[in-house]
Structure 1
Amino acid sequence: MSNSLGAARQRQQSSPWLWPLIWGALLLISVVAMASAEPLFRWIEPDARQVIYGRADFYVLLGRHLLVVGIAALVTIIIGVLAGIAVTRERGGDFLPLVGQLASLGQTFPPVAVLALAVPVLGFGTLPIIVALMLYGLLPIVRNTLTGLQEVDPDIKTAAHAMGMTAVQTLRQVELPLAAPIILAGIRTSVTINIATAALGATVGASNLGDPIISGIVNGNMAYVIQGALTIALLALTVDSLFEVLQRQLRSRLSTS
């Protein structure tokens, strides 16, 4: 029994990139060869004049989708991690409840409501959906950054100070590396959720993979909806599996160091 479990673990460790490659390949096929599935979508919508979304190529929509999610993720990661670091320092401890409440507040507002409030100020286009994704994706990153830093063993930090490390050196060389798997888990949750949420940008003029979904809903064309939803799902699975590999590698490094 132990031999079979060991063999299974060895196979899992020897091919960590298997699922990212599988999901990535399926995503690539769906983006490049969507038109080849026209008979299937014609069966789903036999009365529709057109069953393959053609206002923009799917690879273009994918690029726009990744751009929006990527910008929002980058800004959110910087703000969330820095905020988590700041309030876990001695001088910023008084602001810890406030930061937690503000981060939670972002997820209490539905993204549609954020878009409705942002459009009159920011106008139609990409910027409102980026703001909505930032607010919606902040909580997991802040929460996990706080958890990761607070769970670092105080004895380890004391030992680092005893070795002559400054507070900044302790943070960079001890606390952040130990907290990295937990922080990465928060980033993984934030990005994966926002990949799906970004589709709402199509309602305010931000062209992305949400375009076929919105167009299909408006025109009563289920084939369009399936095409957009399928591509977004494959993108989310690809990105999520990549994060899983990164988390495993981080844990492996920590366990061997």
Structure 2
Amino acid sequence: MIVDLWHVLLVQGTCLPLSSYMSSQAEISERMRAILIDWIIEVQYRLTLMPETLYLTVYIIDQYLSMESVPRKELQLVGISAMLIVSKYEEIWAPLVKDLMCLCDNAFTRDQVLTKEKAILDRLHWNLTVPTMYMFIVRYLKAAMCDTELENMAFFYSELALVHYAMLVYPPSVTAAVAVYAARSTLGMNPPWTDILEHHTSLAEPQLLDCARRLISFHTLAPESKQKAVYRKYSKPKLGSVALQSPDKKLLSG
């Protein structure tokens, strides 16, 4: 029964936001999305919201943008409204609307936030039960019997993936697996991919390499990137300063 349920999640994980949706957006770009997600990550960390809230918020943003053309001036409104929706769904104590408005420098009114919240929920048919990358990565890390350093490194890579629109081509189950693989590689764990992980992910190491090269490339560029929320967060001693580790560049030439 548990195996059957996991299979359903894997199948559902292929029902993703369109990875090409940006071509249908007249006023927003990949860079603008990256700025928004970078900001969302900062807000989640500042408000100490649960990681589930972060991953589902990003999913809802992308899913809504796959369905609706959004003016540039409303992109942050979509982001903060999505976070409000997910906070009510995931958190014991959700942030107040006025607190989220304050984080936007009061660029939007309460009515605008609540109206957009309803518009997003209606467009998504109120379906918030979706398999996010977080759901998969927790399972994979448990299978890997990870320590705190590996856990922090894997979440660093998974949050880097959230920022980059190009990663939408991969199902969340694959990106989660690659985050664990890239983390193990960067930490010099041998082997970087085990039979147990292959069993739990249904992915062999060769199937991970293309996505892993992208993640390692993002790590390499992170110190100079304009979107630094993930890098700053995981440079903190509280999270093991894992972002300061040298990425496994052998994967880039592999």
The answer, yes or no, to whether TM exceeds 0.5 is no
Greater RCO, CA 8 A, separation 6+: 1
TM range (shorter): under 0.3
**What TM-score, normalized by structure 1, do the two folds share?**
0.25
**Which protein has the bigger helix share?**
1
